[in-house]
Structure 1
Amino acid sequence: MPLSDAEVSHVARLARLGLSDEELALMRDQLSHILEYIELLQEVDVTGVEPTAQVTGLVSVMRPDVVKGALSRDEVLANAPDQRDGMFRVKPVFED
């Protein structure tokens, strides 16, 4: 399904792409080939094939959360550059 320059220009404008004449010709050829391939796929007999969105089993790659013991206040403040009364001290960020 060959596309015209006008159709490719329209798609480029919708995508807010500024294409040179050379880029327009390249995109016309590439998009036309993509559409030809889609037309070829339309000819495949899929009778009896269930529509699917995912062909492999979904498996979470994230590890499960494991509850661990927390650090004590003294352990947390041990490396603090400045602390007082069990709290971090930081420089003020607002000026009066």
Structure 2
Amino acid sequence: MAEQLDRQQVEHVADLAKLAFTDAELDKFTPQLEEIIDLFKELEEVDTTGVEPMSTPTTEVNVMREDVAVKSSDQERQALLDNAPETANGLIKVPAIIDESEDGEE
């Protein structure tokens, strides 16, 4: 078993990931996170001597198309904006992911 995690540690990890959980969810996720950590500890015990590292389990190679900008029609643009949860000035509005304020408040 992993060293005992407490709710404050799970809350801290959630905060770093910009996630908010209820008390009930924290009670549920804390033992689940401990189990996940236990699985990683179990993997660390596997003897991998002589096993060559691999970067991919297959020989498949990504086939990428050329990245070319294409002018959208006004109808296509409006259809995209109509599906966005929030827009402003003809653009899709997204929440800030980096808080640059000094006090942590937005």
Aligned residues: 62
For 1:26, the equivalent position in structure 2 comes to: 28
- TM-score, length of structure 2 as denominator length: 0.53
Matched, 1:39 2:38: no
Unaligned runs of 5+ in 2: 65-106
Deviates more, 1:50-59 or 1:37-46: 50-59
- Residues 35-79 of structure 1: CA deviation (Å, up to 9, x unaligned): 0001011110000011112021124568xxxxxxxxxxxxxxxxx
Percent identity of the aligned residues?
44
In 1, distance between residues paired with 2:47 and 2:35? 21
Instruction: Look up the match of 2:86.
Output: none
CA distance in 1, matches of 2:25, 2:11: 10
AA at the equivalent of 2:51: V
Letter in 1 for 2:54: T
Q: Normalising by structure 1, what TM-score?
A: 0.58
Q: What is the aligned partner in structure 2 of residue 49 from structure 1?
A: 51
CA RMSD after TM alignment: 1.6
Structure with higher Rg: it is 1
